[in-house]
Amino acid sequence: MPTKSSPALRKASDFKILWERSVGFMTVWIVHLGRRFHLVQTLATLDSPQKPEILAKLCSLDPPTVATWCAAAHSHRILQQSNGGYLLPKRLRPLIAFEDHPDYIAGQFSYLALRSLDYDAFDSLFRHGLVDTTAAHMVEAFAEATRWDHTMFQKVILPLFPRLHRMMKAGGRILDLGCGSGEWDLRMAPVFSKCVFLGVDPNKRAISLARQKARHAGLDNRVSFLGGAAESIDFSGSFDIVYLGEVLYAIGAKADVLRKCFRALKQSGFLIIAEGLSERGDRPHSLTNQLIHGMELDFALQGTRFLSESELRVLLRNSGFAKPRFVHANGGLWFIVAQK
């Protein structure tokens, strides 16, 4: 027979849950700093424990600070300690060090850490309903968060769509709307060497970074970037693929942009959308819903919100995409592929 817990037990349980959540915030920063300063990447290449001073030398960093980070990472069960040295366990390497692994999750940690640097804007949001139009760290945060999306697209989604995969292998013109600093284009271009990419984004700093990266990678002959909002595009039958990577939520005129995407595609061309979708169901405490509902505060700061699957289906149908296919990639992220 079920029994009710006493108020004292419930209080202890609540305290433990909230305490663990506050510790989790520090875990986010420990992982982010370890990646930002290449500590976890360096440790992932080594199979023997490293003393902090040696690790600091390998990464050209301040030894006392690295020692402090190592102690914190060990306390949070990220590193193992042996004979005064530290080791990154092999089981954690795909999660926080290998960006091209399907289990990689550290990009989300870096997104949260970087976005938290802009959260002073919440004061204006809560007091006056004013959204943050500056978001100094958004470009870098977006690039960190979407690396996992690109891995999932290449390794999980493409095999599910053979015709799309063959098109990219054969070569085609690809439009990336809301390209940010060009991470998706620069990741796909070396793999699909016959494709030509055009990225469009309203953020001038992001476009400048994207162009620099393309030149540095020697890809600027096939990968180019254009400043401008998605609402401003005006192409007709020019592209084989249009890609929208976690940007539709932030676009004001969603229906108008999707209609322009339809018009920009050649006949039988593909629209690819990667988008977090809300899950309103009866499981508000599921890990996915905890993430989605928590992220909605971040989205509110940007003046937007998550779409639901049904909302997106209506938008696509009204824009001419009759039979979109929705694939859940985990963690609330969906890939939607539709053909003209």
Percent of the chain with pLDDT over 90: 85
Of 117, 161, 142, 115, nearest to 272 by C-alpha is 161
Residue 279 has what pLDDT? 75
Comparing 2 with 286, the larger pLDDT belongs to: 286
Q: What is the mean pLDDT of the chain?
A: 94
Residue 288 has what pLDDT? 83
Q: 17 pLDDT band (50/70/90 cuts)? A: confident
Backbone angle region of 328, left / alpha / beta, with phi > 0 → left and psi within -120 to 50 → alpha: beta
* DSSP calls for 288-328: HHHHHHHHHHHHHHTT--PEEHHHHHHHHHHTT--S-EEEE
- Tokens describing residue 158: 């493409």
Q: Give the mean pLDDT of 278-302.
A: 84
Residue 8 has what pLDDT? 67
pLDDT digits (tens, 9 = 90+) for 201-222: 999 999 999 999 999 999 999 9
pLDDT digits (tens, 9 = 90+) for 149-179: 999 999 999 999 999 999 999 999 999 999 9
Of 166, 210, 219, 211, nearest to 190 by C-alpha is 219
Show the domains of the chain with their CATH numbers.
Answer: 7-98 (1.10.10.10), 145-339 (3.40.50.150)
d(CA 288, CA 42): 31
The answer to whether the CB of 34 falls within 8 A of the CB of 69 is yes
- Tokens describing residue 210: 């994207």
The answer to whether the CB of 211 falls within 8 A of the CB of 225 is yes
Comparing 232 with 265, the larger pLDDT belongs to: 265
Q: 120 pLDDT band (50/70/90 cuts)? A: very high
Which distant-in-sequence residues (6+ apart) come within 8 Å of 145 by Cβ?
107, 108, 110, 111, 246
Strands 325-330 and 307-308: unpaired
Residue 256 has what pLDDT? 96
What is the three-class DSSP state of 9? helix
Handedness of CA 174, 177, 181, 183 (dihedral sign): negative
Environment class of 309 (CB within 10 Å of its CB; exposed 0-12, middle 13-18, buried 19+) = middle
pTM of the model: 0.90
- Only one residue has tokens 């339809």, namely 262
Q: 94 pLDDT band (50/70/90 cuts)? A: very high
Residue 335 has what pLDDT? 98
d(CA 54, CA 310): 54
Task: Please state, in angstroms and as integers, the Cα–Cα distance from residue 137 to each residue in 113, 148, 220, 257, following that order.
Answer: 10, 19, 25, 26
d(CA 17, CA 187): 39
d(CA 30, CA 73): 6
